[in-house]
Amino acid sequence: MPPGDRVAGTIPQRLCYRLPVPLTYLAIAVCALAAVPPTPASGGGKTGDARPQLAAYLASHDVPTLAELRGLASAPDKPLMAIAEDVRAEGLIRARAVAALRLLPSPAVQGFLGKLVRTKAKSNDATERLILRRAAVALGWISGPRAAADLALLFDNADPEVRLDAAIGLGLTRAEGAPALLQRQLAVESVPRVHDQIERQLRVLGQVPPEPEKAPPRKEREPMRGGF
């Protein structure tokens, strides 16, 4: 074959022709393997670390879809959890990664969200509070045996927005113990919009919020009778 006619993949075969005869079985096997073209990776090429693609997607998509996530990674839950834990990543992207986990319910995702809530429940960091808010709704959506108890821990956060999303998450769980946890917070919640959200979630769960105690009506004093 002239030098100009060289084609990729033919060199190993030509080398085989130059081996002394008879060829050993090992040499035959090596040449045969070298001549076989590589098999394309399965899953449409979605191999390796999918975090860069997912992070780029989340940068421009506040509300991702399951189909789009799986178009970027065949199993997007693990890279999403990795993004959520990456303190070097932008806070908004981390929060969106946490929110996206609601689309991928599994024991692993439940455990991840529950641990996140338990370990960061009282955080006063702005980024972590944003992540907690997304985690509250995602964990409530997925629910799970410990979800209600974990979400109730967020009522100890000083940020009313975190407490508000904790109430939403508790309502989403539909857990048997959720009404009692909401009632307990209702009795001490001082921020009107959080108080209203708790009442709304109680109505969603079929619970009637307790009426505030009314002061007993004042008795009218009888007019004094004048003497004659």
Look up the CATH number of the domain holding residue 163.
Answer: 1.25.10
Asked if the structure places residue 92 within a domain, the reply is no
Tell whether 127 is covered by a domain: yes
Between CA 102 and CA 139 the distance in angstroms is 7
One domain for residues 112 and 25: no
Least confident of 42-46, 125-129, 197-201: 42-46
Domain assignment present for residue 125? The answer is yes
**What's the pLDDT band for 63 if we cut at 50, 70, 90?**
confident
Lowest mean pLDDT among 115-124, 125-134, 204-213: 204-213
Query: What is the C-alpha separation between 138 and 141, in angstroms, rounded?
Result: 5
Q: Is residue 203 part of a domain?
A: yes
> What integer pLDDT is reported at residue 210 of this predicted model?
59
Establish how many alpha carbons lie within 13 A of residue 141's alpha carbon, considering only the half-sphere containing its beta carbon. 18
Q: What is the 3-state secondary structure (H, E, C) of the chain?
A: CCHHHCCCCCHHHHHHHCCCCCCCHHHHHHHHHHHCCCCCCCCCCCCCCCHHHHHHHHHHCCCCCHHHHHHHCCCCHHHHHHHHHCCCCCHHHHHHHHHHHHHCCCHHHHHHHHHHHHHHCCCCCHHHHHHHHHHHHHHHHHCCCCHHHHHHHHHHCCCHHHHHHHHHHHHHHCCCCHHHHHHHHHCCCCCHHHHHHHHHHHHHCCCCCCCCCCCCCCCCCCCCCCCC
Between these two residues, 149 and 1, which has the higher pLDDT value? 149
Confidence grade of residue 118 (pLDDT, cut at 50, 70, 90): very high
Is 19 within a domain? yes
Residue 70 lies in a domain: no
Question: Per residue in 84-109, pLDDT tens?
Answer: 999 999 999 999 999 999 999 999 99
- Residue 28 pLDDT level (bands cut at 50, 70, 90): very low
Structure confidence at residue 36 as a pLDDT band (50, 70, 90) = very low
Q: Assess if residue 162 is contained within a domain.
A: yes
Residue 48 within a domain:
no
Q: How confident is the model at residue 207 (pLDDT cuts 50, 70, 90)?
A: confident
Domain that holds residue 14: 9-35
pLDDT above 50: residue 29: no
Integer Cα distance of 146 and 143 in angstroms: 8
Separation of first and last alpha carbons in the chain: 142
Q: CA 119, CA 49: separation in Å to the nearest integer?
A: 27
Q: How far is CA 2 from CA 17, 35, 85, 174, 194, in A?
A: 16, 19, 57, 75, 81
Split into its structural domains, the chain has a count of 2
CA distances from 217 to 188, 212, 221, 222 (A): 25, 15, 12, 15
Task: Note whether 117 and 206 are same-domain residues.
Answer: yes
pLDDT recorded at residue 26: 47
In the predicted model, what is the mean pLDDT of the chain?
A: 83
Q: Are residues 206 and 115 in the same domain?
A: yes
d(CA 122, CA 129): 9
